[in-house]
Amino acid sequence: MRSLTLAEARERSSLITITSYAVELDLDQGAEVFGSHTTARFTCAEPGAETWVDLKAHSVETVSLNGEPIDPDRVSDGRLALSGLAADNELVVAATMAYSHDGQGLHRATDPADDLDYVYGHLFLDAAPSVFACFDQPDLKAPYDVTVRAPLDWTVIGNGAATRTAPGTWVLATTKPLATYFVTVCAGPYVSVRDEHDGIPLGIHARASLREPLERHAAELFDVTKRSFDYFHGLFGIRYPFGEYHQVFVPEFNAGAMENPGCVTFRDQYLYRGAATRDELLTRANTVSHEMSHMWFGDIVTMRWWDDLWLNESFAEYMSHRALVDATEYTDAWVDSSIVRKVWGYGAERSPSTHPVAGVEALDAQSALQNFDGISYAKGAATLRQLIAYVGDDPFIAGVRAYLTDKSYGNGTLADFLGAIETASGKDLEAWSRAWLLTADRDTLSVDLEEQGGVVESAVVRRESPADRPADRPHAFDVAGWTDGREVARASVTVTGPETTLAGLEGTPEPAVVVPNASDLTWARVRLSDSTVAALPSQLAQVPDAQARAVVWSALIDGVHGATVSPDTFLDVFDASWPHESNSSILTRVAAYAEHRVVPWFVPRPAQDDALDRLNRAGSGLLERSGAGTTESLAAARLVAGTSDDAVLLRAWADGHGLPAGLEEDGDFRWIVVRNLASRGLVGADEIEAFRAKDDTLQGSLNALMCRASLPEADAKAWAWQQLTGREGRSNYEMIHLARGFWAAPDDDLVADYVSRYFTDVPAMSGWVGEDALSRVVLVAFPKVFTDETARLSARAISRDDLTPAVRRSLVDADAELREALASRATFGAAV
């Protein structure tokens, strides 16, 4: 279906104003379809003019405009033309809609644990017309009255407080003006935990089979929720205006969460069934705070058009980390950002698809989705930190308050936001925004030291701007140095040119390790000196500053991807430093990166077994000396479970024998072991099914699919490929898990024939899979056969003119990662 263009959106918003929506949903019509009845009231600035309403229905029963019937067959390509508009209009549409299974629209999922069905709405971007007739663009906001008919044993939750007015009938309170993409309804036999804070009713909800983890994690979730409310109330000076605040953990969710006012939806993997590391709890707390900050920035004030969507996400990314550090126990949230979010963002910046943070005009709605990436989130947040360094924190918050107050329940633009900051700070931001927001790519920061007799004689920071995307970005950051665990130097600096003298380092002892951007205050490629890299195996574990250690690991990862750091060097540092790491985020994320990216992508196949053995030895050593049930023990056990080739150990763990303390009943941990066994051919499909029967849940079924796809057998690969790329009715999550397992193989020959098939079969799935879900499948399913032939086929596929925007963008990004792997192997393969 055609995507709304910016020109069309501007024309329609200049013509009409939406007064209200009344939406009635009948969710008691079976598992495939639901009834949708919409009454939309709107005014028209030019009576007699024409426009259209967006409608993506299974069937349309009746339509009337101002009491006059309209032929339902006039719906074409997701649009229903409306002509002869009056000054005041009432549009009534009765339709039947189809549930989705790809995480977009009104998604319906069956929990195999009890065969109960759950529904949730994810109307992001352009999915709202598949739920109700609407004028689907972010600047046409209106209040909603929603009524839901549902099976008698279902609970209904939505943007407004839900009241059961009769058996199976629920009425939701009238909302504040909302953009169409914020509307949601969650319905099913959800279980709930409720509380209240500062006059705000709170609810947390999940599938019935997740009652135990829901109740176990409720106190922590409520604590973060309450602390975030208090923090944002104080910071923004505006009380939360959307009534009740519900957080619903829903199945098969495409993203981490969605900031629907009053009814935030989360992926239900955040309700950890088994053991959770501290950084996993931090990640969840960050997501809770992130979505709450959107209640102000995004929900009270919404961007006018999708090309300013980055501002919502950058703001929430920054504010959630700030709130965790200032108001919760997770005071190391910025360390987590360095090793998780910024590593993701730097990857997006390395790709040919890199783009400026702002100023990329999205000519249609689907184009906007392509820039919804680590640049919009992580780089945007880092840019806001630099903006604060430039204007000051107090003027920044004053500007934010003014922007939110002035634009409440309406729409804003980047120009509006920057104008508010300029007024509050008295500083002109034109040059700053041109360099930081309107120019893609990043600078490279490095430090050159000259020493005499072990004392620093001169120190210079070098800032290199990309030659093909030059910019004059000011950077405020610090440089620090350590020797044998002792900080011997630290200096703050604002860099405004190619070279800046670091007078603060002159006369200090020469450090063994020098870290530019040690507190990770700016966005840049950090180039470590050769002497620092050489010293890391003996020095990094002794550096007491977790933030600086995260910056070093991020720089090493960046270097591996850029073929400036060999994977062997990375593994040398891992061997020496990782077993002594005390920060949970660094510990777990670096281990996962080593196992799932560095070894399989950058280490040549003949050397991969030895590399995995190095990881296994590191994990085993840490496991032996870690306290039972600690993050260290869990991280080490997971690494051993994924890398060990000890069939006796793996089979014992899979059967529940000799497990590390705290993992005796952990089904998710068992699946790590089973996947390892499956990929080595040490279990078969029947045994995988037996393990699934022990974990007869949604997550257990997904893991079983991944393990079956991992089996090193031709028949297993053929089956998995058909399930993945055929019209087999698989959900978005099922496709992702099949893709995760498929390319596991003892050698490339087993899956070589599927490389060319990928470039035809997967793009063709756009005929029945939504763009959001398919973009993820394209990335995960991209061939893990790292050859020049794969690169040739990939380049040819990207040049096709029939790809959807989401497929093309994901192919470009996956192709870039393939070429990074090829470049690294070509540079360092012989050494490894």
Residues carrying an active site annotation = 291
Tokens of 348: 């997006």
Q: Compute the C-alpha angle 524/476/512, nearest 5°.
A: 70
> If you count DSSP H runs as helices and E runs as strands, how many of each does the chain have, helices first?
28, 29
Q: How far apart are CA 140 and CA 178, in angstroms?
A: 8
Q: Cβ of 725: how many Cβ atoms within 10 Å?
A: 25
- Give the span between the Cα atoms of 490 and 35, in whole angstroms: 64
How far does the chain reach from its first CA to its final CA, in angstroms?
Answer: 49
Strand blocks (E) in 232-385: 245-250, 257-258, 263-267, 302-303
How do the residues of the chain divide into helix, strand and coil, expressed in percent and rounded to 5?
45, 20, 30
Going by the DSSP 8-state scheme, the letter that residue 543 receives in this structure is -
The first and second tokens of residue 217, run together, are 């994690």
- Burial environment of residue 711 by CB neighbours within 10 A (0 to 12, 13 to 18, 19 or more): buried
Q: Name residues whose C-beta falls within 8 Å of residue 448's C-beta, 6 or more positions apart in sequence.
A: 459, 460, 462, 529
Give the chain's largest Cα–Cα span.
Answer: 92
**What is the Cα–Cα distance from 38 to 92, expressed in whole angstroms?**
6
Contact between 102 and 772 (Cβ < 8 Å): yes
Sequential DSSP letters for 684-741 = -HHHHHHHHHHT-SHHHHHHHHHHHHH-SSHHHHHHHHHHHHSSS---HHHHHHHHHH
Question: How far is residue 27's CA from residue 35's CA, in Å, rounded to a whole number?
Answer: 7
Q: How many residues make up the chain in this entry?
A: 832
- Comparing C-alpha atoms, which of 144, 107, 34 is closest to residue 255? 107
Provide the residue type at 304 as one letter. Answer: R
